[in-house]
Amino acid sequence: KAGVTQTPRYLIKTRGQQVTLSCSPISGHRSVSWYQQTPGQGLQFLFEYFSETQRNKGNFPGRFSGRQFSNSRSEMNVSTLELGDSALYLCASSPTVSPGDTQYFGPGTRLTVL
Amino acid sequence: QKEVEQDPGPLSVPEGAIVSLNCTYSNSAFQYFMWYRQYSRKGPELLMYTYSSGNKEDGRFTAQVDKSSKYISLFIRDSQPSDSATYLCAMSAQVTDKLIFGTGTRLQVFP
């Protein structure tokens, strides 16, 4: 079974631009979560989608948004990029929404904002 | 103060050593505890999952939860160079809650 895939793997943008990251979950998984990982803050939860509905949202500004499609694929968008948005963005999928379900992480998208 | 604290390391040990990785937390409502391993340039992968207090063993790995002290540990026996990675603890209060992660401890096992 194919794992979680994220595209693109690397991205360089400049301040003020916007970016869209894509995540394809494992086949059959309906829950997709997004995280931001930085050396100083570690892994921080962005949002979680289940069956196209946002179930949970972390403490990030409104510039960060996401959505999930009927095939469970998910996208996240960051508008008006700031230098501090440089990070590894990880997507994780699981069959349902229980923390007992193993969350399978993708390799991440490394975003650099110049 | 962060909800979950974890020493960033790096922790450097010789092959065969017993490794102890720890996290402390402040929210007494946490009852689901996980340990993830993250290799360089990869996403985290779930190693151990524990509900409430107690110990759980899986091969060379043992997870311990002490809710009275708000302290969790991951022990690795007979450590191998392939165990070199960053280890992240994560926890949540309810089944439907988001996971709160520690910042991770970088472990280096040298031959």
- Confidence label for A82 from pLDDT (cuts 50, 70 and 90): very high
Inspect the interface and report whether the beta carbons of B103 and A41 lie closer than 8 Å.
Answer: yes
- Judge whether B45 is closer than 8 Å to chain A, CB to CB: yes
- Judge whether B75 is closer than 8 Å to chain A, CB to CB: no
Q: Using H for helix, E for strand and C for coil, what is the string for chain A? A: CCCCEEECCEEEECCCCCEEEEEECCCCCCEEEEEEEECCCEEEEEEEEECCEEEEECCCCCCEEEEECCCCCEEEEECCCCHHHCEEEEEEEECCCCCCCCCEECCCEEEEEC
Nearest by CB to residue A102, choosing from B6, B46, B102, is B46
Mean pLDDT estimate for chain A: 93
Tokens standing for B14?
A: 């010789």
Within its chain, how far is the Cα of A36 from the centroid?
Answer: 7
User: Which of A42, A49, A46, A43 is closest to A25 using CA atoms?
Assistant: A49
pLDDT of amino acid A56 = 86
Q: Which residue has the tokens 């302290």?
A: B71
User: Which of A77, A106, A76, A92 is closest to A30 using CA atoms?
Assistant: A92
Asked whether the predicted pLDDT for residue B35 surpasses 90, the reply is: yes
Q: Tens digit of pLDDT for each residue in B50-108?
A: 988 889 999 999 999 999 999 999 999 999 999 999 999 999 888 667 889 999 999 99
Buried b (16+ CB within 10 A) or exposed e, B59-87: eebbbbbeeeebebbbbbeebeeebbbbb
Q: Tens digit of pLDDT for each residue in A63-74?
A: 999 999 999 999
pLDDT of amino acid A99 = 58
